[in-house]
């Protein structure tokens, strides 16, 4: 990539990234970190991160990179007076940094800092669509914010389509980009999970990496797992379902369901983990039972590790996995039997599973690169007349 055309326009500029919190790395935190590193390294940009809370491992990681990290609260569900006060304080706070670019990730963060954003002195602001339309309510206020920004960007077709279908965008185009996925060095990934969990060498291991929230539909997966577990139990082969992700609002429901189905001992709740690549690599299959997504990062991460994935047949998952192997990889929503059948079939047909894994790797390598995302964003920053004065 020839960086010279960008250096004259972006060198030394101040970029403010708005994320949700500093507690754990998700898709938005990971993507923003990749972009921030590039801006700092190549253009000597000042990088500022702002979140709703003030402490956590994400903040520690940002500070270690040499970025600034602060806290700013905005009460999205406050009274009109509270939101008016928060908007005034937000403008005043952001203005103190003399920003050139405002880059909020996800709809809720866009709504928190895009009110009257031009009063901050910034020359550019985007609306970054990270999902399928979650936390959007088709209001006139949201429409006004969407039309006020310099650019609208989306990491999925389903996110773009949602905005086009529900808002009058006054001729605004939506810039599409793909989640950036670094291709890992397989030889550098140290196995650890099977040993730490005392899992038998011959055991089947299936994993899902997602926070335990209502969006992810772990209940359907657990019901499916009852069928998978009993199938392999009949062949005297141990089987385990590993669930990695923050233990949030559906945790107790999942525990009770697993107990009632008599499969609690075969399901392990790992909580939030840092060694996701190790877990993916040591799993025989990755599943993703979510009903609401843009394009999930975890699908692409598993694909980059040459793993087959069985996911819910929703637009974001289909966009990542394509329809090439849809009969084996895309499961009907809220259908435990169909999900179980697909999991069992791939586990019982390892050659097909490996074939799908190779296909997934080639797809990520071709379409989900860091270079692609950065080039899309840099062109947007450079070419917009308001951002380069």
* pLDDT tens sequence across 199-219: 999 999 999 999 999 989 999
Asked if 4-180+369-387 and 186-367 have one fold, the answer is yes
**Is 384 a residue whose pLDDT tops 70?**
no
Q: Which option is the CATH number for 4-180+369-387: 3.90.1150.10, 1.10.10.10, 3.40.1160.10, 3.40.50.2000?
A: 3.40.50.2000
CB atoms within 10 A of CB 44: 12
Share of the chain above pLDDT 70, in %: 98
Rg (CA), the chain: 22
**Is 2 a residue whose pLDDT tops 70?**
no
Q: How does pLDDT run across 64-115, given as a tens digit for each residue?
A: 999 999 999 999 999 999 999 999 999 999 999 999 999 999 999 999 999 9
Domain ranges of the chain: 4-180+369-387, 186-367
**Average pLDDT of 227-252?**
96
As a whole number of angstroms, the distance between CA 308 and CA 109 comes to 33
pLDDT confidence of residue 1: 60
Candidates 362, 30, 25; CA nearest to 180 is: 30
Our CA dihedral for 61, 65, 67, 69, rounded to 10 degrees, sits at 10
pLDDT confidence of residue 182: 83
Task: Look up the CATH superfamily of 186-367.
Answer: Glycogen Phosphorylase B; (3.40.50.2000)
CA atoms within 13 A on the CB side of 110: 29
pLDDT confidence of residue 388: 44
Candidates 384, 386, 367, 234; CA nearest to 299 is: 367
Indicate the pTM of the whole model: 0.86
DSSP character at residue 191: P
**Is 5 a residue whose pLDDT tops 80?**
no
């Amino acid at each position: 990539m020839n960086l010279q055309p960008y250096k004259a326009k972006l060198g030394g500029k101040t970029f403010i990234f708005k994320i949700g919190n500093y507690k754990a790395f998700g898709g938005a935190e990971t993507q923003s970190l990749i972009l921030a590193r590039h801006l700092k390294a190549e253009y000597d940009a000042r990088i500022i991160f702002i979140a709703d809370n003030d402490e956590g491992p994400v903040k520690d990681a940002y500070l270690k990179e040499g970025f600034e990290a602060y806290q700013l609260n905005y009460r999205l569900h406050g009274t009109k007076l509270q939101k008016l006060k928060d908007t005034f304080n937000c403008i005043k706070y952001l203005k103190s940094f003399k920003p050139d670019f405002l880059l909020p990730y996800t709809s809720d963060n866009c709504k928190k800092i895009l009110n009257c954003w031009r009063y901050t002195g910034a020359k550019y602001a985007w609306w970054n669509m990270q999902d399928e339309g979650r936390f959007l309510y088709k209001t006139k206020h949201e429409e006004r914010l969407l039309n006020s920004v310099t650019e609208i960007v989306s990491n999925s077709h389903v996110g773009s389509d949602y905005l086009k279908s529900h808002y009058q965008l006054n001729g605004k185009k939506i810039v599409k980009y793909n989640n950036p996925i670094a291709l890992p060095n397989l030889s550098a990934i140290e196995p650890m999970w099977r040993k730490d969990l005392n899992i038998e060498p011959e055991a089947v291991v299936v994993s899902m990496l997602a926070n335990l929230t209502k969006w992810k539909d772990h209940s359907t997966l657990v019901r499916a797992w009852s069928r998978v577990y009993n199938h392999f139990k009949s062949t005297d082969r141990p089987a385990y379902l590993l669930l990695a992700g923050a233990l949030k609002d559906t945790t107790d429901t999942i525990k009770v369901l697993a107990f009632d189905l008599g499969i609690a001992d075969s399901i392990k709740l790992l909580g939030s983990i840092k060694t996701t690549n190790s877990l993916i690599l040591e799993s025989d299959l990755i599943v993703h039972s979510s009903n609401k997504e843009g394009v999930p990062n975890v699908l692409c991460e598993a694909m980059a590790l040459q793993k087959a994935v069985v996911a819910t047949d929703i637009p974001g998952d289909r966009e990542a996995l394509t329809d090439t192997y849809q009969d084996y990889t895309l499961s009907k929503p809220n259908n435990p039997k169909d999900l179980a059948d697909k999991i069992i079939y791939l586990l019982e047909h390892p050659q097909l599973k490996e074939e799908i894994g190779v296909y997934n790797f080639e797809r990520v390598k071709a379409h989900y690169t860091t270079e692609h995302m950065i080039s899309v964003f840099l062109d947007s920053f450079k070419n917009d007349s308001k951002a380069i004065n």
